Amino acid sequence: MLDLNRRHLLAGTAATFVAVQAGTSQAQVQTAAQDQRRTRFDTGWRFAFGHLYDVEKDFGYGGDLRTYAKQGIDATPVAKADYDDSQWRPVTLPHDWAVELPFVHKAPKTPLKPDDHGAVWDPAANHGYKPLGRDYPETSVGWYRKTFTLDAADKGKRISLEFDGVFRDAMVVINGYIVKRNDSGYTPFRVELNDFLNTDDTPNTVLVRVDASLGEGWFYEGAGIYRHVWLVKTDPVHIPQYGVCVRAKADGTVEVTTTVRNDSGETKTVTLNSNIYFTPIDTPVLAFSDLVLPPFSEQVISQTHTIKAPKLWAIDTPALYFADASIWQGSEHIDQVITRFGFRDIKFDAQTGFFLNGKSVKLKGTCNHQDHAGVGAAIPDALQRWRLQQLKDMGCNAYRASHNPPTPELLDLCDEMGILVIDETRMMTSSPEGLAQLETLIRRDRNHPSVILWSIGNEEPQQGTARGAHIARTMKRLCNDLDPTRLITAAMDNGYGEGITEVIDVIGFNYRDQLIDGFHDKFPNKPIIGTETASTVSTRGEYIKDDAAHIVPAYDTTAPWWASTAEGWWPHFDAKPYIAGGFIWTGFDYRGEPTPYSEWPSISSQFGALDTCGFPKDNYYYYRAWWRPEPLLHLFPHWNWAKEDGSKEGKDISVWAHSNADEVELFVNGKSAGRKTVTKDFHVEWTVPYQPGKIEAFAYKAGKVILKDRRETAGAPAKIILTTDRTTLANDGMDCTVIKAEVFDAKGRPVPKVNNLIQFVVSGPGAVIGVGNGNPNSHEADKASQRQAFNGLCCAIVQVTGAGGITVTATADGLASGKVVLKSA
C-alpha cells in the first residue's frame, strides 16, 4: 500500500476511535464495533412443543424414511413463510423450557437399590424431577421459529447465525433446508446461511428443533436455546469466527494472530492493521500487513506490538486492553473485530503454588453449574454478574465452570471482575467430536486473561488407566497446539499416580484430601490443586437435622462420605504452600443431583455456600472470614426457638460465630457466656440454655471491640421489606435485578421461621421473569408471580421491558406490603 493510502487509513482509524469514544464503559467499546457486524438475534421467536414419537405432533418431522431425501421448502412444512404459528408461544432468548415444567415424580419401574455407601439414587432426581427423557415424549422436544427479512444492501454479504448454546441435539432449518445438526448442549456452533436466504424483502424463516430427551450430565441442564443467538453480516473478505488470537506477556509484548478469509470468487488485495490501546482516546500502537487473497482462500498473519509499562491484569485491578483488527480495501473499511485481553503472567509451581504476575495467590475457588432459581439455565447476563459478585464478596477469586464450557458472557465478566477460571470441556475423549468440542472451547476462550487452566475431564472412568493416558495425550497435544501459554488439568477422584497423572500438567484432586500430602511426597514436581473440595451440605436457616423433612443443619457439620466440611479442608490447604488452592463444591445450590437426600421430595442439591436464590448460608461467612482481610463477625443461629415446639426454654443451643478477629465474646440477654480465642481458619462455639431475648457477640482485635452482631427473638410477622442491589437498570430489554423479600416483625426484627405466601406485582416497564426461595424441597413454580417465603426469605427477578419508572410491590395476607422503585433508562 502506498504511504498516501496508509495516511488515509490512519485517519480512518482515528475516526473510528472518535466514534467509539462516545461509549460509557470499556465493554461498550467492544460492543460498538461488534454491532456493525454481529447483532443479537434473541427476540421475535415463537415456541411450541414437538413430540419424540408422534410425527403429526412433531410437525411432520420424521414422517417417513425420506426425511433427508430432498431439501427445500416442501421438506418441512412449518418452515413456510405463510405457516400459521399463532398458536406458538412468543419467547425471548435465552429460554429454558425445562424450568417452566412442573416437578413430576414417578415410581421407578424397578426398585432402587442402595449403593455401596447406603445411598439410594433415583435417576429422575438427577435433573431435578423435570419431565424430560424417553418417558416424557410430549415435553422433551421443542421447536423455535422466527421470520426475518434482509434487504438489497445485504446482498453479497456473508451472513450466518451463531448459537452460543442449545440444549441439546439441535437441528437448524433455513427456508426449508436442513443446514446444521449439533449434538452438544454446551458447545457453540455457527450456521452459514447465504445459499438459502432471500435478500429481496421476502421473509426468511429459521426453525430450530431441540431434542432434550438425553442428558450430558448428572445434574439439571435445562432445555432449549438457553444462551444467546447472533446474526452476523460481513464482507466476503472478513475475519472469521474466533479468527483473532492475542497473546500478551507481562513485559508488554503482544502477538496478534489474525485469520483473514476471502469467500469471494475474485482475488482481493487488502490491508490488515491491528491496533492496541487501553482506552479509545489513547494513541494506538499500530501494525500493517498487505495481503493478496486468491478466491476462496484464507491467510493467517501474526503481528507483534510492544506496550511500554503496561497495566497488568490482576485480581484487584483487572486492567483490560483492546486489540482492534481491521481490514481495509483501499480507503474502504470492510471489517473490524475488537478483542479484549490483558497483560499478565501465570505460573504453577509444585513447591510454592500459583503465581499471578510474580505474586503468590492462593486459589479460593468455587465450582458452579449454570442454574439459578426462577430462570433455570437461561441466566440473563445481569444475573450472571450478580452471581459472580456474591462469590467475590465472599472472597472467592476463582471459578471452575463445572462440568462444561461456560456461557461466553460469564468469561467476559470474570475478565472484568478479576476472577480466575478453570475452563472445562464436557467430554474427555479423543474422538473427532470430542476433539472438535475441545478445539472450539480453546479457540473461543483463549483470549480471556481470566482463564488460567484448561480442564480435559472430571472423574472420568478411564482416569487411572493406560487408555485414559492415551486419550489425555491426544487432547493435551491439541490444547498445546492451539494455546501453548496455559497448562492442562483434569479433576481426578481416584487413580492418583496412574493413568492420566503423568500426562496432565497440574493434578486436580476431587476430595480425597487425606491423599494429597502422600502424593506430593511421591510426585514432588507435580503442581496440585483441589478441583473439588468440601461439599458441606446445609439447609439455609435450619439448625436441627430432620431426615424425614430432608433438612440438614446449617452448621458446618455434615458432608457426604466422599467429602469434608469447610473446616475439614481449608485449614489443610491454607497451611500447605505447595497446594495452589481449591474450589468448593459448590458456590450455589443447584437443581438436580439432590444431596444428601437423593429421593423425592428433594429436587436440588444442598452443597452451596449460597442457596439457589443466592441467599447466603452460614457457611458463606466462614469463607468470608478467612478468604478476605476485612474484619468479619457472623453470629448464628436465630433466636426464636420457643416458637417451634414450646419446649425449648432452658434447653441447650449450640451458638457459633465465624470471625477473623482475635477473640469473640458471647452475651445472652446481657450476660457474658465467655470470651473465646479465635483459631485461624476455625469458628468459635458456645453451648448455652435458650431463653427468649437476644444473643450478642463482640469481636475483639488487640483487646478492643471492632464488631458486634446479634440475634433477637422476633415477634409475630408484621411486614415485608424489599431490597435490591441496584435501582437503576439499562433499558436494553435484558437487564434485570434480584428483588429480595424478607419478613419482619413490628419492631423491625427479621422473623426467621415463617413461610408466608408473597405476591409480587410490577407496574411500569418491567416484568417478573422468575421467583424462588431456596427451599431444596419446594415444588412451587419458578415461572410465577408468587412464592412462599422459606425461613423468612424469597425473591423475584425483575427484568426491564422499556424505559421509565418501575414499581415492585410485595404483598401477603396479614402483612404490611413492601415496595421498591426502580428506573430503566
Catalytic residues: 459, 532
Backbone torsion region of residue 562, taken as left when φ is above 0, otherwise alpha when ψ lies between -120 and 50, otherwise beta: alpha
- Grid coordinates representing 599 are 429421593
Phi, psi of 427 (to 5 degrees): -115, 130
Of 48, 78, 34, 43, the residue nearest 178 (C-alpha) = 78
What is the SS3 string spanning 751-768?
CCCCCCEEEEEEECCEEE
Output the CA torsion sign for 537, 540, 543, 546: negative
- Grid coordinates representing 20 are 467509539
- Grid coordinates representing 713 are 427473638
Measure the CA–CA gap between 820 and 808, rounded to whole angstroms. Answer: 5
Over its C-alpha atoms, the chain yields an Rg (Å, rounded) of 28
Of 154, 342, 336, 334, the residue nearest 243 (C-alpha) = 336
Residue entry with cell 482481610 = 629
Backbone torsion region of residue 814, taken as left when φ is above 0, otherwise alpha when ψ lies between -120 and 50, otherwise beta: left
Measure the CA–CA gap between 372 and 614, rounded to whole angstroms. Answer: 8
Q: What DSSP string describes 17-71?
A: HHHHHT-SSHHHHHHHHHTTTEEE--SSEEEEE--SS-TTTTTTTT-STTTTT--
In whole angstroms, how far apart are CA 337 and each of 45, 281, 406? 28, 18, 22
Helix/strand/coil for 186: coil
Residue entry with cell 413430576 = 104
Omega prior to 203 cis, within 30 of 0: no
Measure the CA–CA gap between 257 and 369, rounded to whole angstroms. Answer: 33
Q: Are 116 and 165 within 8 A, CB to CB?
A: no
One-letter amino acid of 17: F
Q: Are 554 and 618 within 8 A, CB to CB?
A: yes
Measure the CA–CA gap between 369 and 589, rounded to whole angstroms. Answer: 9
Q: Are 509 and 516 within 8 A, CB to CB?
A: yes
DSSP for residue 75: G
- Vertex 649, ends 647 and 651: CA angle to 5°? 90
Of 684, 733, 732, the residue nearest 709 (C-alpha) = 684
Output the CA torsion sign for 472, 478, 479, 480: positive
Q: At what angle are helices 466-482 and 432-445 packed, to 10 degrees?
A: 40
Phi, psi of 123 (to 5 degrees): -55, -35
Chain-centre distance for alpha carbon 389: 12
